[in-house]
Structure formats: structure tokens, C-alpha cells
Amino acid sequence: MVRKSYGPRRGTRRKLRAKTPFRIRDYLRTYEIGDRVNVVLNSRERMVHPRFYGKTGTVVEKRGRAYVVNIRDSKMMKTIVLKPEHLTKANA
């Protein structure tokens, strides 16, 4: 028998499969403070916990190349730091 895995990437194989080719424009995107962004994790790079995949949040500040994003997770507001390759602009 195989032991069940309880690692941080458990149950994410389909979610984190690389769907798009590597694009430079993903790394060069810029966002303004107050922009609404979607979290779309790029599995080729370091990333936050997969529970934040598909969440929408607001850009609060910029730290170096990364952005600080406030996201509502259940009833709590959480702050995560993401690089632009893990973010896309929200539609509305």
C-alpha cells in the first residue's frame, strides 16, 4: 500500500499544470495601488499556498518586484506577497 500524502501541494496536480507557454510579458506587468487582481499561480516559479489560486484581491503596495495583495479567505482578510507572474488584472 502507498501512504497518503499530506504535503502542501496535495490535490493540486490538475490545478497547477502548466497551461500557457512561458511569456516575458507576464514578468514585466505593472499594477497600480488599488488595482483588482486575480491570483493565477505559475507552477514554474516559487508560489504561495495553492488555496489562493483563483482568488481576487486588491493591490496594497509594491515591494521590490513583488506586490502586496489583500485577499478575503473565508471571513478573514489575508495579506500575501506575489510577483507579477502570478497575477492577472481582474475584469471589473
What is the reported pTM? Answer: 0.79
In the chain, the number of structural domains is: 1
86 CB-side CA count, 13 A: 28
CA distance 31 to 85: 12
Instruction: Label residue 80 by pLDDT band (50, 70, 90).
Output: very high
55 CB-side CA count, 13 A: 20
> Which residues form the domain of 35?
24-89
5 part of a folded domain: no
34 part of a folded domain: yes
Residue pair 31/57 in contact (Cβ under 8 Å)? The answer is: no
The predicted structure's pLDDT at residue 76: 94
Residue pair 52/70 in contact (Cβ under 8 Å)? The answer is: no
Considering only CA atoms, which of 82, 24, 92 is closest in space to residue 53?
82
1 part of a folded domain: no
17 part of a folded domain: no
Answer whether residue 11 shows pLDDT above 80.
no
CATH code assigned at 67? 2.30.30.70
